[in-house]
């Protein structure tokens, strides 16, 4: 007779930063009930995935298992945890749970997306609980870089799992309560089967500084600024926005919010009480009328996003906000890996205008929202898990988190990959199976499978361009007119000065002439021979092979 098992799998977020989606299953192997935790996106880099805006987890498996899914719970409102919901939830249509700020931020995001469907969110109070099938879930407050980050204590008949979500230890987090050490310790006393935990900063020693330390530095830099000040940070970092607003008030500067994502978060923060006592902000149109030492611009674009406020200001293309020599810009953020070049472009644009730029390399103007090693140590000491599985990190982060846990004596440490089905109990941890996992790309308004050829073809096009050839043949296989040849994205001349178009044309004619007469009546054979010849001739001169399309029409 089959026994009830407790299993875990990540469909995203392990071996990568971003796209977090975990599932927990309970029941007999063929009759499991599933709990989904988070449903996030990754951001694509333009060079790697041209034309792709977002990367989403492939949830084909969950769509198949939809009837057995008891619910989807969000740990917090960052895009790498809830950014895929607008696109994927309609395919699942399962009950969705979040705490008030996360729910409000999600609704504001959804409402801003043209044509997005209604997505009902059931609200769980802070520190609250919800029972979904065999899973009784307690929300435990943890400090992070957005309000209301929650670790989830998932109680099942086979034991308790602590899913940490994103967290850090910050005794003075500016908004919200500090990480709930008492609750986590009580959980440890009750006995925790497994801890699935944030590995983002496992390669960093010590403890991360507090948001309060950052607030102090920001206040000083804003107070001593001689002229205009602009601060950029992650739009959803409400604690940081509040620190900037407080600093501006003390320096008698009006705050102007620039950028839609930040306006949205400010609105949500006011609705949910996280901005209680914060002064009213001015609209971007007011910026130009305020004296330089009486204004502060709070801008989107800390990651160098080309359409965001700061990039447009750096290019001197913003309709309301300008900066000039002697002004000060503070980057209160760290580059997300992959964004360094885009950020450097913005910084260089500002420096060229004579603007002073301060980043976290110069001063403590940013801290991460993730735990460093001493904080990971505290978590393990509180919770004392039997099993630890590192999550939320690239291979190196996972390995360091695992090594630390082993050194601290956690009995079972398992590093797994996206798609591994891990049995936690009984006799855990063991990888017992693989569940289908993968990636989807958001390409314009369409979701495509990452294996589909479109994006790969686009990358090849961007690397070596394309040659297009058109031939018209009569029934006997004779050319009716001269072949049409067109080059797209190729150099005009080779190193010796010969026109690339002539090289391609010659290759077409030679290849056609070399074909035996009977073969010329077969359009596919003609196309293939010409395609090969053109690519070879161009590769010989250029050392690169373009895509070549040959169209053969017969009349």
Query: Could you list the residues that contact Zn ion (CB under 5 A)?
Result: 78, 80, 166
Q: What's the CA gap between 348 and 223, in Å, rounded?
A: 24
Nearer to Zn ion among residue 78 and residue 535 (C-beta)? 78
Closest distance of CB 227 from Zn ion, Å: 34
Closest distance of CB 527 from Zn ion, Å: 49
Nearer to Zn ion among residue 22 and residue 232 (C-beta)? 22
Nearer to Zn ion among residue 41 and residue 266 (C-beta)? 41
Closest distance of CB 200 from Zn ion, Å: 7
Closest distance of CB 440 from Zn ion, Å: 19
Q: What's the CA gap between 242 and 230, in Å, rounded?
A: 15
Q: Taking the CB of residue 250, how many other CB atoms lie within 10 A of it?
A: 11
Closest distance of CB 75 from Zn ion, Å: 8
437 CB contacts (<8 Å, ≥6 apart)?
Answer: 9, 10, 11, 12, 57, 58, 61, 418, 419
Nearer to Zn ion among residue 126 and residue 431 (C-beta)? 126
Nearer to Zn ion among residue 12 and residue 349 (C-beta)? 12
Please say whether the beta carbons of 240 and 332 come within 8 A. yes
Nearer to Zn ion among residue 148 and residue 254 (C-beta)? 148
Q: What's the CA gap between 329 and 310, in Å, rounded?
A: 10
Nearer to Zn ion among residue 134 and residue 390 (C-beta)? 390
Which residue's structure tokens are 């520190």?
Answer: 127
Nearer to Zn ion among residue 80 and residue 327 (C-beta)? 80
Give buried/exposed letters for 297-322 (b at 16+ CB in 10 A, else e): bbbbbbbbbeebbbbbbbeeebeebe
Closest distance of CB 311 from Zn ion, Å: 23
Distances in Å between the alpha carbon of 400 and those of 117, 143, 227, 387, 423? Answer: 41, 22, 45, 16, 23
Closest distance of CB 547 from Zn ion, Å: 38
Structure tokens at 82: 């809830």
Closest distance of CB 414 from Zn ion, Å: 21
Closest distance of CB 392 from Zn ion, Å: 6
Nearer to Zn ion among residue 78 and residue 312 (C-beta)? 78
Closest distance of CB 261 from Zn ion, Å: 15
Q: How many CA atoms lie within 13 A of 478 on its CB side?
A: 2
Structure tokens at 329: 């810009």
Nearer to Zn ion among residue 154 and residue 391 (C-beta)? 391
Give buried/exposed letters for 518-545 (b at 16+ CB in 10 A, else e): eebbebebbbebbbebbbebbeebbeee
Closest distance of CB 76 from Zn ion, Å: 6
Q: What's the CA gap between 234 and 339, in Å, rounded?
A: 13
Please say whether the beta carbons of 500 and 539 come within 8 A. no
Nearer to Zn ion among residue 103 and residue 295 (C-beta)? 103
Closest distance of CB 14 from Zn ion, Å: 12
Q: What's the CA gap between 69 and 74, in Å, rounded?
A: 15
Q: What's the CA gap between 298 and 462, in Å, rounded?
A: 36
3-state secondary structure at position 456? helix
Q: How many CA atoms lie within 13 A of 308 on its CB side?
A: 20
Nearer to Zn ion among residue 33 and residue 149 (C-beta)? 149
DSSP states of 356-390 as a string?
EEE-TTTSS----SS--HHHHHHHHHHH--SEEEE
Please say whether the beta carbons of 201 and 176 come within 8 A. no
Closest distance of CB 553 from Zn ion, Å: 54
Q: Taking the CB of residue 139, how many other CB atoms lie within 10 A of it?
A: 26
Distances in Å between the alpha carbon of 377 and those of 17, 169, 179, 380, 395? Answer: 21, 11, 14, 5, 20
Nearer to Zn ion among residue 65 and residue 80 (C-beta)? 80
């Amino acid at each position: 007779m089959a026994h009830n098992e407790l299993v875990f799998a990540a469909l995203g977020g392990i071996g990568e930063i971003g796209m977090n989606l975990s599932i927990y299953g309970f029941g007999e192997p063929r009759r499991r009930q599933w709990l989904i935790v988070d449903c996030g996106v990754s951001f694509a880099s333009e060079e790697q995935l041209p034309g792709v805006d977002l990367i989403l987890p492939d949830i084909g498996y969950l769509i198949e298992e939809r009837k057995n899914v008891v619910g989807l719970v969000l740990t917090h409102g960052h895009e790498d945890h809830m950014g895929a919901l607008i696109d994927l939830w309609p395919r699942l249509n399962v009950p969705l749970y979040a705490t008030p700020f996360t729910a409000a931020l999600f609704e504001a995001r959804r409402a801003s997306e043209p044509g997005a469907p209604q997505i009902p969110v059931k609200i769980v109070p802070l520190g609250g609980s919800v029972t979904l099938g065999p899973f009784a879930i307690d929300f435990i407050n943890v400090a992070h870089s957005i309000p209301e980050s929650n670790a989830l204590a998932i109680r099942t008949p086979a034991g308790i799992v602590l899913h940490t979500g994103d967290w850090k230890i910050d005794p003075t987090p500016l908004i919200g309560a500090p990480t709930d050490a008492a609750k986590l310790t009580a959980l440890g006393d009750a006995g925790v089967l497994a801890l699935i935990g944030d590995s983002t900063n496992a390669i960093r020693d010590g403890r991360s500084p507090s948001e309060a330390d950052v607030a102090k530095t920001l206040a000083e830099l804003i107070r001593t600024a001689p002229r205009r000040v602009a601060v950029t940070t992650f739009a959803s970092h409400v604690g940081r926005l509040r620190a900037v607003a407080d600093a501006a008030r003390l320096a008698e500067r009006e705050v102007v919010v620039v950028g839609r994502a930040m306006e949205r978060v400010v609105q949500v923060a006011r609705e949910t009480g996280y901005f209680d006592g914060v002064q009213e902000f001015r609209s971007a149109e007011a910026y130009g009328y305020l004296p330089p030492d009486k204004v502060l611009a709070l801008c989107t674009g800390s990651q160098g996003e080309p359409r965001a406020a700061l990039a447009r200001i750096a290019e001197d293309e913003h309709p309301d906000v300008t900066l000039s020599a002697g002004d000060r810009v503070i980057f209160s953020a760290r580059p997300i890996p992959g964004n360094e070049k885009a950020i450097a472009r913005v910084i260089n644009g500002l420096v060229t205008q004579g603007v002073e730029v301060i980043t976290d390399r110069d001063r403590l103007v940013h801290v991460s929202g993730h735990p460093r090693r001493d904080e990971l140590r505290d978590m393990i000491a509180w919770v004392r898990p039997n099993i630890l599985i590192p999550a939320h990190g690239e291979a190196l982060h996972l390995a360091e988190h695992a090594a630390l846990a082993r050194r601290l004596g956690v009995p079972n440490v398992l590093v797994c990959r996206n798609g591994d089905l891990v049995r936690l109990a009984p006799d855990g941890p063991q990888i017992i199976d693989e569940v289908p996992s993968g990636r989807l790309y958001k390409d314009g308004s369409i979701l495509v499978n990452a294996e589909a050829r479109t994006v790969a073809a686009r990358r090849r096009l961007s690397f070596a361009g394309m040659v297009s050839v058109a031939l018209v043949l009569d029934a006997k296989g004779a050319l009716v007119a001269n072949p049409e040849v067109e080059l797209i994205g190729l150099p005009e001349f080779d190193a010796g000065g010969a026109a690339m178009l002539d090289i391609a044309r010659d290759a077409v004619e030679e290849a056609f002439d070399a074909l035996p007469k009977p073969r010329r009546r077969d359009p596919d054979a003609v196309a293939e021979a010409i395609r090969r010849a053109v690519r070879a001739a161009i590769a010989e001169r250029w050392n690169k092979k373009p895509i070549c399309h040959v169209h053969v029409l017969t009349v």
